[in-house]
Structure 1
């Protein structure tokens, strides 16, 4: 590191960000990391609400180096982020949304973590303010991990610390053709190319703020954009990870988080035309990437819906979606011939539907509401299997006694 090179470049893409920008910049100004080790590159993407003027005022008084770039509106977050990335000089870059804010020690902790463990990406704990935030990956701090042995695949937003050398070596930029999910594509590629990833779970590094005006970028866009996002992410995973269990592990993410919600409760409100169009958009993705090994990783209601999507069965799919939306508990059916358990969602063993029994087999970890034993009682499938084995043994003993008599 040269004397003039900052440790971290904080890249802020801002569009119509007032008044949230005020607290955002305060959180940058209040960082415990030495201001001489921080540079801020703020890109005003054609705002008309005073965002650009406020950024320029901040640049005059901030204790760290601040560069403000003002441009015509680009139509999405990728353009400003790419402009900032091309201007960055820091060893690391951090993408900060203009309506969010940093924890006071965030940059200091993340830079120290990356330096100590020589990792290329650092995830700092995120909490939501008036909105939901991902939770599953914050169980414990992980000094060094990867995308296959942790749950980081379920947080693909761009608000992370990236080693800039990694990004420049692979020519990484945000895909400006995508209007949603562009950060997922960028972050997944970084995970896959990184020499180690760190997770900080014992300190809140990032506050994900829900806007009162509902203008957060992730809330906008038509359903077709979600299919564009899923397609790009699936293609990336297929290109960088050979076919097999490791690829399947990652493919769960776009199927579960991006594709499946299009066939959730909203599907019931869609017109027949939109339903047909969604199935048309999904078909090439299902044909290319959906298979039984991937399906087995999902819960029955998730797996069943995606299997029906793959078959283009909008009629049966609507029945299953309605059942799930009503929060009904499926009856557990234990086959008397072999003791195998199934979750009897709509069209289970319906001859007219012709759906395979395998689609209804619960995962080992799946918890189900067992109507056959006690309504709304939750038990693990392992307990179900043990109970079935005990019943079979008892039946054999009775049969043996009867035969002897």
Structure 2
């Protein structure tokens, strides 16, 4: 008698995961999806704290099929996830970190969402436990969306439901050469290739747990690894998308989330050699991928700092960072009948610095926070027209394709 294909393969990469693994596996066992429709593939990545033994104990008593693979330490999460993917047989896969846990009914709800809407990726609402969790993309449940018309680009962790046929069709695996940000690369590619993405915002599907010992993988790694991560994601976007608005929208993510923090208050604390190295590492990224389309999608202080990085002016950059660190407010400068607002951060209109006024020009979403600013009538008309076109394109993108992915 043939065995039915599982609905979902839960892939758990585990390294030195005790005692967090106990609650992690309990959350899998408590899922409401029929155990016959679930398989667990757990990869012990060379643990010495009893992780492997506990996985084998769980496999012996769990109601669902559990495969335990024990291997030498690979040095990061990509290897175990790839091993699990190679063994997976489910229609969907879900990557569960061994120190986190699933919410009640998570698998049942996410599988149902994907099946009902024919989508290839499902995001379940995340709640942080002793750590922050992403929130902006979970404002409301979305049956079908995409990476351009929602905030999903700001959660690129691997803890999502992926249709396995999508991953196999494109030969998608985690990049084992990256020591951080490997999940961002994988997830962004999945978003771009997906026939629709769903968001479950009305139910907590995943608990992101902050470890008391501070060993959570996202906290490890030197600053140089962050530049590697930013470069990999920027190159992926440049490879998969032609120049234009869609690429610029997504390019905001690596600039804002991965690169810019290296040029925040920590930059003031860095020694001279580290600051010089950061500027050198940033130079090729700025040369290749920084443009006006990206710049205009940022707030003034973000745009100004990255502009000065692109100009290789750490001297001016230090003044701006200190200004922000001191929580000083830039003077608003209104021009052209109050329809243009400039924020006078350091070096505004300084001939010696030579920073163009446009770098200090607040976009409408930022300008509206300041009394006295008003929209230009012509600009308002243009923006309404652009929004109308974008809504039409979004509807076309998120409409199900005629042939559903199996």
Q: Normalization by structure 2: what TM-score? A: 0.90
SS in 2 for 1:365: helix
Report how far residue 385 of structure 1 moved. 2.4
Which secondary structure state, in structure 1, belongs to the residue aligned with residue 191 of structure 2? helix
Paired residue for 2:146? 146
1:125 paired residue number: 125
- Match of 2:12, SS? strand
Give matches, 1:185-196, under 5 Å: 185-196=185-196
How far, CA to CA, are the matches of 2:6 and 2:127 in structure 1? 27
Report the equivalent of 1:244: 244
User: Partners in 1 of 2:364 and 2:191 — Cα distance?
Assistant: 28
Return the offset for 1:239.
0.9
Assess if the C-alpha contact under 8 Å between 2:332 and 2:343 holds in 1.
yes
2:212 corresponds to 1:209: no
Unaligned runs of 5+ in 1: 368-378, 390-405
- SS of the equivalent of 2:147 reads coil
- The match for 1:380 is 369
1:20-59 correspondence to structure 2 within 5 Å: 20-59=20-59
Task: Give every structure 1 segment of 4 or more consecutive aligned residues whose post-TM-superposition deviation is greater than 6 Å.
Answer: 336-339
Counterparts of 2:242 and 2:336, CA distance in 1? 41
CA distance in 1, matches of 2:107, 2:338: 57
Q: Residues 338 and 373 of structure 2 are in contact (CA less than 8 Å); yes or no, is this contact kept in structure 1?
A: no
Q: Report the equivalent of 1:197.
A: 197
Offset, 1:165: 0.5
Structure 2 unmatched runs, 5+? 378-406
* 1:294, distance to aligned residue in structure 2 (A): 1.1
> What's the CA shift for 1:388?
11
Deviation at 1:66, TM superposition (A): 0.3
Query: What is residue 341 of structure 2 aligned with on the other side?
Result: 341
Residues 301 and 53 of structure 1, relative CA distance in 2, 3 Å threshold: same
Which residue number in structure 2 is paired with residue 113 of structure 1?
113
CA contact (8 A) 2:338 2:374 kept: no
Deviation at 1:252, TM superposition (A): 0.3
Structure 1 325/224 Cα, relative in aligned 2: closer, same or farther at 3 Å? same
Q: Indicate the SS of the match to 1:274.
A: helix
Contact 2:308/2:316 (8 A) holds in 1: yes
**1-structure distance, mates of 2:342, 2:187:** 38
Matches within 5 A, 1:169-180: 169-180=169-180
Question: How much does 1:334 deviate?
Answer: 2.4
Whole-Å Cα distance in 1 between the matches of residues 163 and 335 of structure 2? 54
Secondary structure of the residue aligned to 2:44 is strand
- CA offset digits 1:81-104 (Å, max 9, x no partner): 000000000000000000000011
Q: Secondary structure at the match of 1:366?
A: helix
- Structure 2 residue 304 is matched with structure 1 residue 315: no
Moved more, 2-11 or 181-190: 2-11
Counterparts of 1:228-377 in structure 2, within 5 Å, are 228-335=228-335, 340-366=340-366
State the alpha-carbon separation in 2 of the partners of residues 47 and 162 from structure 1. 27
Residue of structure 2 in register with 1:79 after alignment: 79
**Matches of 1:297 and 1:43, distance apart in 2:** 41
TM-score by length of 1: 0.91
SS at match of 1:318: helix
Q: Distance in 2 between matches of 1:387 and 1:68?
A: 60
Determine whether 1:182 maps to 2:170: no
**How many angstroms does 1:3 deviate by?**
4.2
Give the secondary structure class of the aligned counterpart of 1:384: coil
Counterpart position of 1:5: 5
CA, structure 1 residues 25+351, in 2 after alignment: closer, same or farther (shift >3 Å)? same
State the alpha-carbon separation in 2 of the partners of residues 339 and 212 from structure 1: 50
> For 1:386 and 1:169, how far apart are their aligned partners in 2?
50
Count of residue pairs the alignment pairs up:
376
Q: Measured at CA, do residues 337 and 197 of structure 1 come closer, stay the same or move farther in structure 2, by a change above 3 Å?
A: closer
